[in-house]
């Protein structure tokens, strides 16, 4: 039986999962039927699971997803939505994150673009990546404040380190020159090294004219459209009734 000094050492090493699992084992009358290796494996598994759960909780807190409970398992596929199950299944493997690709989700308002984007970002967090959600208009407001207080370089550096950046409601209105330039700064830092999820009511074929400045539009569209997975959601709005109708 573990003595008090050993318990204190486990606490000092922050092996709380292992300690809790050991205490549970002590209350199991049949635990003695297992060999040492099996019991040790159970203790290690408990510690690993606890740490993974804590890591995921931190990642989701940092991500600030608009729909924090969105998950790929709850995405549905009615025929009128024209959402390909195989495509989503492939994206859940997160190879697109490892290979620094983009995911572009378009469709009319209420078709579930934000839900799908948050579900994919959630899945990336579960796979060990860091994510960050921003409604595009609010990101530009954050950038303007950063310019004013001199923290823009720090904000750029922070965003550049995020594995999956979610830009929701992209191009709801045309960009002005300052916003286009700032967006290009963000995308340029991330190009080839990180991944971005974009949701927009506009199809990608209309993005160039919505950006405004032709030169900036060329560069922005090139960085978003290169190595991208495109999903165009169809059907009527799914927003009015229950939360599940947004999926």
Average pLDDT per consecutive 10 residues, the chain (247 residues; last block may be shorter): 75 83 77 80 84 88 95 92 94 97 95 96 97 96 96 95 97 91 95 97 93 90 94 82 50
Q: What CATH topology corresponds to 65-246?
A: Rossmann fold (3.40.50)
Residue 135 — left, alpha, or beta (φ > 0 → left; ψ -120 to 50 → alpha)? beta
Residue (of 227, 175, 163, 177) closest to 200 by Cα position: 175
The pTM assigned to this predicted structure is 0.82
Beta strands in 27-184 (DSSP E): 102-106, 131-135, 164-168
Which residues, 6 or more positions from 167, have their beta carbon under 8 angstroms from its beta carbon?
A: 134, 136, 139, 196, 197, 198, 199
Q: Say how far apart CA 230 and CA 225 lie, in whole Å.
A: 9
> Domain locations in the chain?
4-61, 65-246
The dihedral of CA 91, 134, 114, 223: what is its sign?
negative
Describe the crossing of helices 152-161 and 136-149 by its angle, rounded to 10 degrees: 140
Pairing relation of β-strands 228-232 and 102-106?
parallel
Q: Say how far apart CA 80 and CA 112 lie, in whole Å.
A: 13
Q: Which residues pair with 232 in a beta bridge?
A: 106
The reported pLDDT for the residue numbered 142 is 96
The reported pLDDT for the residue numbered 54 is 86
């Amino acid at each position: 039986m573990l003595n008090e000094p050993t318990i204190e050492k486990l606490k000092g090493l922050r092996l709380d999962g292992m300690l809790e699992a050991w205490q549970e084992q002590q209350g199991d009358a049949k635990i003695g039927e297992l060999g040492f290796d099996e019991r040790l494996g159970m203790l290690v598994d408990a510690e690993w699971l606890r740490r993974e759960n804590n890591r995921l909780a931190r990642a989701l807190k940092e991500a600030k997803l608009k729909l924090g409970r969105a998950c790929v398992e709850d995405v549905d596929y009615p025929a009128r939505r024209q959402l390909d199950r195989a495509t989503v299944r492939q994206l859940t493997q997160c190879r697109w994150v490892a290979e620094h690709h983009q995911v572009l989700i378009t469709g009319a308002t209420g078709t579930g673009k934000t839900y799908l984007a948050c579900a994919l970002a959630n899945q990336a967090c579960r796979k060990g990546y860091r994510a960050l959600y921003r409604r595009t208009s609010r990101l530009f407001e954050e950038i303007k404040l950063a310019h004013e207080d001199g923290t823009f370089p720090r904000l750029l550096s922070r965003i550049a380190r995020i594995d999956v950046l979610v830009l929701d409601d992209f191009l709801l209105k045309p960009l002005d020159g300052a916003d286009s330039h700032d967006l290009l700064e963000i995308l340029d830092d991330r190009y080839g090294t990180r991944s971005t999820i974009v949701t927009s009511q506009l199809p990608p074929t209309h993005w160039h004219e919505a950006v405004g400045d032709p030169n900036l539009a060329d560069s922005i569209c090139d960085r978003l459209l290169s190595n991208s997975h495109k999903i165009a959601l169809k059907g009527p709005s799914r927003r009015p009734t229950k939360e599940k109708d947004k999926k």
